[in-house]
């Protein structure tokens, strides 16, 4: 499946891109050495690049494409809407229809507002939490990715020389120039560590607007949170007048109602994005009516004025409504079954080849680690240079064998997939483990 990048169309296009785009890209996640592959088109669960190479797509635009590429029902619905217009300075009926549908999937979604990305959804949850509580600080788990907002990205990627003691993790900036004031307003708690986390929260209980939590954070290892930890956070927030905010931007696919239902918790606010846009940019915030009321422009005192030029645009909402109606409970279960088949197969391949590795995940997502046992927090998930090199080896091996993965060697399922694609991936991973063992 390899192409000669010295003469490939992708290599030539990248040379042009370097002249007009920093690093040649607008998304760091698409970079590969020596150059990114450029997509021509997608068909179902396959992605074809401009050099004509077809690969099975397990990245699905960073888990945003629940129905793969160019789903006929979505294409038809969006085409019909596009004929009528792409965006208006008026509300549309589909906004109401889609809000009704999403709220019907989870009883904790009493009110909902649409935005344009997962990052924006997180921004809204944090600002709404401040507006509702009158407090300024937030808490988040070390290593969790919550988009590109100053506060949300604190300690997204700390390292051993910056992260501090486990009893008191430091608030580490991601971007150079992050204001100290932003760092001071974000408390970092160790994921899955009840005692240490509660002690940190207790020290600031009168200052915290919310605790922001992802129940299966990708960069913390894509391993579901311990139930004890989740319930301890829910109990603490309720007791101390702070809000519990769940980031379900990637995990809403895990069950029909979101991963939160597996834990039996009802957060005050939930942020969503990615797959609920049906392939188009989207975000949404849902939660308690009284908390969402801070966004009400007809309130006597508007606590959080909010709008967006493309929020709730009919193209995205039309695609999203079709996508989520198709992703019913039966399809959720089927995809989850495919992911379990993959995880079981990969685990067997690890055991049979004797490679040091493990696989984590839940629902229709999983991630490979070059570690003996699954990590339970960011510090355990942190990759050594040797582990990183092995992951890079597997990514390159799979890419050359015809598979697109997320760049941590993470896979997401899409509905066009069947056992055929799953078994092909497992087989290729087994081959990769054998080659890796032979080279180390």
Q: What is the C-alpha separation between 319 and 98, in angstroms, rounded? A: 10
**Residue spans in the chain of domains classed CATH 3.40.640.10:** 72-326
Tell me what pLDDT residue 157 has. Answer: 96
Q: Residue 66 in 3-state DSSP?
A: coil
Confidence (pLDDT) at 440: 75
What's residue 287's pLDDT? Answer: 98
Task: Report the half-sphere exposure of 203 (CA within 13 A, side-chain side).
Answer: 11
Structure tokens at 344: 């079981």
DSSP state at residue 20: T
Helix, strand and coil content of the chain, in percent to the nearest 5, comes to 45, 15, 40
**Residue 2 pLDDT:** 44
Q: Give me the architecture of the 72-326 domain, per CATH.
A: 3-Layer(aba) Sandwich (3.40)
Using a 10 angstrom Cβ sphere, with 0-12 exposed, 13-18 middle and 19 or more buried, the burial of residue 196 is middle
Strands 208-213 and 243-247: parallel
Q: Name the residue with tokens 């942020």.
A: 271
Q: What are the start and end residues of each CATH 3.90.1150.10 domain in the chain?
A: 9-66+329-439
CA distances from 340 to 211, 323, 411, 424, 437 (A): 31, 23, 12, 15, 25
- Rounded CA gap, 361 and 180, in Å? 35
b/e per residue 151-173 (b: at least 16 CB within 10 A): bbbbbbebeeeebbeeeebebbb
Distance CA 331, CA 244 (A): 29
Query: Tell me, what's the pLDDT at 189?
Result: 98
Query: Looking at 110-159, which runs of residues are DSSP E strands?
Result: 111-115, 137-141
* 10-residue mean pLDDT series, the chain (440 residues): 63 94 91 91 97 97 97 98 97 98 98 98 98 98 96 97 96 96 97 98 97 97 97 98 98 98 97 98 98 96 95 98 98 98 98 97 98 97 97 97 97 98 98 92
155: left (phi over 0), alpha (psi -120 to 50) or beta: left
What's CA 70's distance to the chain center, in Å?
Answer: 21
The encoded tokens of residue 5 equal: 């990048």
Given this model, what pLDDT does residue 29 score? 87
Q: Six-digit token pair at 91?
A: 């509300």
Which alpha helices (H) appear in 171-266, and where do they start and end?
Answer: 180-184, 194-202, 227-240, 260-263
Which strand (E) or helix (H) includes residue 37? Answer: none
Dihedral, 202, 180, 116, 271 alpha carbons, nearest 10? -10
Which structure tokens are listed for 166? 């486990």
166: Cα within 13 Å, side-chain hemisphere? 11
Query: Does CATH number 3.90.1150.10 belong to domain 9-66+329-439?
Result: yes
pTM, rounded to two decimals: 0.95
Please count the CA atoms within 13 angstroms of the CA of 288 that sit on its side-chain side: 14
Torsion of CA 188, 192, 196, 201, to 10 degrees: 50
Mapped onto helix, strand or coil, the DSSP state of residue 294 is: helix
């Amino acid at each position: 499946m390899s192409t000669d990048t010295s003469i490939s169309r992708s290599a030539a296009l990248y040379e042009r891109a370097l002249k007009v785009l920093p690093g040649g890209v607008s998304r760091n996640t698409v970079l590969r050495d020596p150059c990114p592959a450029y997509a021509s088109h997608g068909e179902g669960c396959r992605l074809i690049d401009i050099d004509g190479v077809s690969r099975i797509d397990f990245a699905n635009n960073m888990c945003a494409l629940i129905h793969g590429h160019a789903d006929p029902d979505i294409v038809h619905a969006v085409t019909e809407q596009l004929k009528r217009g792409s965006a208006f300075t008026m509300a549309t009926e589909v906004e109401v229809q889609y809000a009704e549908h999403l709220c019907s999937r989870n009883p904790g979604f009493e009110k909902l507002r649409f935005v344009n990305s997962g990052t924006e959804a997180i921004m809204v949850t944090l600002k709404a939490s401040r507006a509702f509580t009158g407090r300024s600080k937030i808490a988040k788990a070390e290593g969790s990715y919550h988009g590109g907002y100053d506060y949300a990205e604190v300690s997204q990627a700390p390292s051993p020389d910056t992260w501090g003691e486990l009893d008191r993790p430091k608030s580490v900036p991601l971007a150079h120039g992050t204001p100290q004031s932003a760092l001071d307003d974000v408390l970092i708690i160790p994921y899955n560590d009840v005692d240490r986390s509660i002690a940190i929260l207790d020290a600031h209980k009168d200052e915290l607007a919310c605790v922001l939590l992802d129940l299966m954070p990708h960069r913390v290892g894509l391993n579901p949170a311990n139930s004890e930890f989740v319930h301890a956070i829910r109990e603490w927030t309720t007791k101390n007048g702070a809000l519990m905010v769940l980031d379900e931007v990637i995990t809403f696919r895990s069950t029909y109602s979101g991963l939160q239902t597996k834990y039996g918790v009802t957060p005050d606010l939930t942020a969503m994005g990615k797959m609920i846009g049906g392939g188009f940019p989207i975000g949404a915030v849902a939660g308690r009516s009284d908390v969402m009321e801070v966004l009400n422009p007809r309130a006597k005192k508007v606590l959080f004025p909010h709008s967006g030029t493309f929020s709730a645009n009919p193209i995205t909402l039309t695609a999203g409504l079709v996508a989520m109606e198709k992703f019913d409970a039966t399809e959720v279960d089927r995809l989850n079954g495919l992911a379990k088949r993959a995880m079981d197969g990969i685990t067997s391949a690890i055991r049979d080849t004797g490679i040091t590795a493990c696989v984590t995940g839940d629902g229709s997502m999983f991630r490979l680690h070059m570690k003996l046992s699954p990590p339970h927090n960011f510090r355990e998930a942190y990759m050594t240079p040797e582990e990183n090199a092995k992951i890079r080896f597997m990514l390159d091996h799979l890419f050359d064998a015809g598979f697109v993965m997320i760049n941590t060697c993470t896979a997401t399922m899409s509905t066009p997939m069947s056992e055929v694609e799953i078994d092909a991936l497992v087989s290729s991973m087994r081959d990769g483990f054998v080659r890796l063992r032979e080279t180390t």
